[in-house]
Amino acid sequence: MVDEALSAGAVARRLGVAVTTLRTWHQRYGLGPSEHIPGHHRRYTPSDLARLEIMRRLTAEGVSPAEAARWARQAPDPTPNGTGVVAPTRIHPTGRDGGGSIPVGRAGPAARGLARAAMRLDAAAISETIAHALATSGVVATWEGLLRPVLAGIGERHAATAGLIEVEHLVSRCVSEALAAASRAKVPTGPARILLSCADEEQHTLPLEALAAALAEAGVSYRMLGARVPVAALVEAVNRTGPAAVVLWSHTRATADPAQLSALLAAPRRPLLVLAAGPGWRADTLPAGVVRPVDLAEAVSLSAAVRDSLDQSRRD
Ligand code: B12
């Protein structure tokens, strides 16, 4: 049993609720951890988790917490050695989570928890899950294993139903805030040799924000121009700051005009490296000399390498 028992943080992430919510459910409704090993914090057993899962589902469906807790406490132990689940499967035809779920493919329990928190518009749980992942796994792993699957799942559901716009906006905001906090926590020293920018009219900034946080984590200084940068402004920024590399993000075909890349290559202070990042760009229309990274990790390593080579050539 000891091996299977979980901490409050792990249970919160699996359920997609904030740790403070778990504490409230414990204090007010007695749905707490039952395993106690002397000298350790109390741990949640699989039976505790199953009861909390009932609590989470029913409250998401609009049942009052007191009523949901009554059902959860009464439910027979649903784990393999128990006697089976009996809580009502659905109280209302569509729950307060908007019904349905966000597909996350093979992503792990944290992504499923984040997807559930997103459906409930539970900003505290969304932020807590992301912050925990960033602190424990780093930016690249959090992007690939947690944020990307949930963002892609939201896009998939939106494409199929035209819904979930409120979820998309709330999650985007929480992701931005968490990545900004991670970037602020590790501000690199030294001149900013990497310029990050979205293409003209491009509003999808999250992948670039992930790159900024990953660069900060790797100790690489950058300058971020953000969303919707007109090409003249981009070239002006290049001429004024002389970056070693420019990463230009385009998420959709509509913003992927290769003339923006050509303008960078023709700039008086032409950068050593121009990266065309994002699914908007078409490989067969990129000007010669432009590099297209396949993912976040490659964008980080190319940026770090070009920064190092510039620093080296300035020393020689
Ligand atoms: C969040 C979101 C928004 C937010 C963006 C908030 C923000 N600050 O970024 C808001 C609400 C603003 C928004 C607006 C719009 N959106 Co939007 N959005 C999304 C969503 C859900 C996630 C975007 C994201 O961050 N993806 C990150 C990952 C999941 O994308 P990926 O494709 O897997 O990217 C990989 C590669 O690019 C590769 N890679 C290669 N090189 C590099 C380099 C780096 C540094 C990184 C990190 C990765 C990388 O790795 C990536 C993953 O790591 C997507 C769904 C989706 N699948 O992307 C829709 C999506 C992109 N949006 C879409 C649309 C249509 C729009 C709007 C036009 C809606 C509207 N009618 O207003 C506007 C566009 C505005 C504009 N002109 O830019 C469509 C685009 C369809 C298309 N192919 O043209 C999508 C696909 C949703 C859908 N299925 O319909 N959106």
Calpha distance 108→129 (Å, rounded):
13
Contacts of 40 (CB under 8 A, 6+ apart): none
Q: What does the pLDDT look like over 27-83, one tens digit per residue?
A: 998 898 987 777 777 889 888 888 898 888 888 777 788 888 888 887 766 565 554
Q: Closest residue (by CA) to atom 91 of ligand 1?
A: 204
Across 272-281, average pLDDT: 97
Continuous segment of H or E residues that includes residue 246: strand 245-249
Is the pLDDT reported for residue 85 higher than 60? Answer: no
Place of tokens 């590099």: 291
Ligand 1 centroid, distance to 251 Cα (angstroms): 5
Q: Closest residue (by CA) to atom 22 of ligand 1?
A: 151
Does the beta carbon of 169 lie inside 6 Å of ligand 1?
yes
Out of 166, 204, 290, mutate this one to test ligand 1's pocket (max ligand atoms within 8 Å of CB): namely: 204
Decide: helix, strand or coil at residue 292: coil
Place of tokens 């690489």: 220
Q: Which atom number of ligand 1 is nearest to the Cα of residue 144?
A: 53
Ligand 1 centroid, distance to 249 Cα (angstroms): 11
Percent of the chain with pLDDT over 70: 91
Place of tokens 């039952």: 34
Residue (of 99, 4, 86) closest to 49 by Cα position: 4
Residue 157 structure tokens: 């559901």
What pLDDT, on the 0 to 100 scale, is given for residue 207?
Answer: 98
Cross-sheet strand order for the sheet of 245-249: 222-226, 194-198, 245-249, 273-277, 290-291
Tell how far CA 124 is from the center of its chain: 14
Is the pLDDT reported for residue 18 higher than 80? Answer: yes
* Integer angstrom CA distances of residue 118 from 129, 141, 154, 209, 314: 11, 20, 9, 20, 48
Contacts of 280 (CB under 8 A, 6+ apart): 199, 202, 250, 251, 252, 253, 254, 255, 256
Residue 230 structure tokens: 């007109």
Calpha distance 72→52 (Å, rounded):
7
| Helical spans, DSSP H, in 186-245 | 206-217, 231-241
What pLDDT, on the 0 to 100 scale, is given for residue 270?
Answer: 95
Calpha distance 84→125 (Å, rounded):
29
Does the beta carbon of 82 lie inside 6 Å of ligand 1?
no
Structural contact between residues 10 and 41, judged by C-beta atoms closer than 8 angstroms: no
Average pLDDT, the chain: 89
Across 292-305, average pLDDT: 95
Does the beta carbon of 162 lie inside 6 Å of ligand 1?
no
Q: Closest residue (by CA) to atom 28 of ligand 1?
A: 148
Is the pLDDT reported for residue 281 higher than 50? Answer: yes
| Eight-state DSSP code of residue 141 | H
Does the beta carbon of 277 lie inside 6 Å of ligand 1?
yes
Q: Closest residue (by CA) to atom 64 of ligand 1?
A: 252
Calpha distance 236→239 (Å, rounded):
5
Residue (of 306, 155, 184, 167) closest to 242 by Cα position: 306
Count CB neighbours of 135 within 10 A. 13
Q: Looking at 3-7, 21-25, 112-116, which range is the least confident one?
A: 3-7
| Eight-state DSSP code of residue 227 | S
Higher pLDDT, 92 or 192: 192
User: How would residue 1 be classed by pLDDT, with cut points 50, 70 and 90?
Assistant: very low
Q: Closest residue (by CA) to atom 21 of ligand 1?
A: 155
Is the pLDDT reported for residue 91 higher than 80? Answer: no
Higher pLDDT, 93 or 29: 29
Percent of the chain with pLDDT over 90: 66
Higher pLDDT, 37 or 190: 190
Q: Which atom number of ligand 1 is nearest to the Cα of residue 227?
A: 8
Does the beta carbon of 295 lie inside 6 Å of ligand 1?
yes
What pLDDT, on the 0 to 100 scale, is given for residue 147?
Answer: 98
Is the pLDDT reported for residue 293 higher than 80? Answer: yes
What pLDDT, on the 0 to 100 scale, is given for residue 55?
Answer: 86
Is the pLDDT reported for residue 125 higher than 60? Answer: yes
Q: What does the pLDDT look like over 202-252, one tens digit per residue?
A: 999 999 999 999 999 999 999 999 999 999 999 999 999 999 999 999 999
The per-residue DSSP string of 11-24 comes to HHHHHT--HHHHHH
Residue (of 104, 107, 122) closest to 21 by Cα position: 122
Calpha distance 258→84 (Å, rounded):
60
